[in-house]
Amino acid sequence: MEINIDLAVTSEEFFDYLQNSIVKDVRAHTNKSIQKSEVVEGYSYTKTLETKSGETELKFILSQFIFPTVYVANIKKEKGENIVSIKAKDLENGKINVTYSEEFIPVNIVRSWNFKLINFFHKRKVKKNIKEGLKYAEDYIIKNRKAESPE
């Protein structure tokens, strides 16, 4: 699945937001305190989430991170692996085009068919949620940019 969207922020602001989001996630789920400077290619951590069927463990690996253009994360879980890729391309007037892509690699053929079936019915909703998440990031960055600038 791939989504392209233009955002009214710079690539530096957007990737700074991504790094800060990882710092907050690590603190919330592992009780470790890390610095933004530690969020680099190769960084990994494990977290446990509550699901409908109990707890599930996720291993997050930042497999590629080139500030401020490329972010690739591998999220491994019992059912398979999600690969999330975010690429930013500068446009004019301080805007960027973001390409978000996500791929699921199931652990077996049964999981593969299950994912394809569920994805068929939920693809539109998932895309909408991702776009809303990217727009939320844009709004958050703009709001905090205005809050920081003395006018």
pLDDT tens, 91-143? Answer: 999 999 999 999 988 886 755 656 566 665 677 888 999 999 999 999 999 99
How confident is the model at residue 50, as a pLDDT? Answer: 87
Give how far Cα 9 sits from Cα of 45, 57, 107, Å.
28, 33, 38
CATH T-level fold of 2-148: Alpha-D-Glucose-1,6-Bisphosphate; Chain A, domain 4 (3.30.530)
- The contacts of residue 1 (CB under 8 Å, 6+ apart) are 101, 102, 103, 119, 123, 126, 127
Q: Give percent of the chain above pLDDT 70.
A: 88
The pTM of this model reads 0.87
- Look at residue 83 in the predicted model and tell me its pLDDT: 96
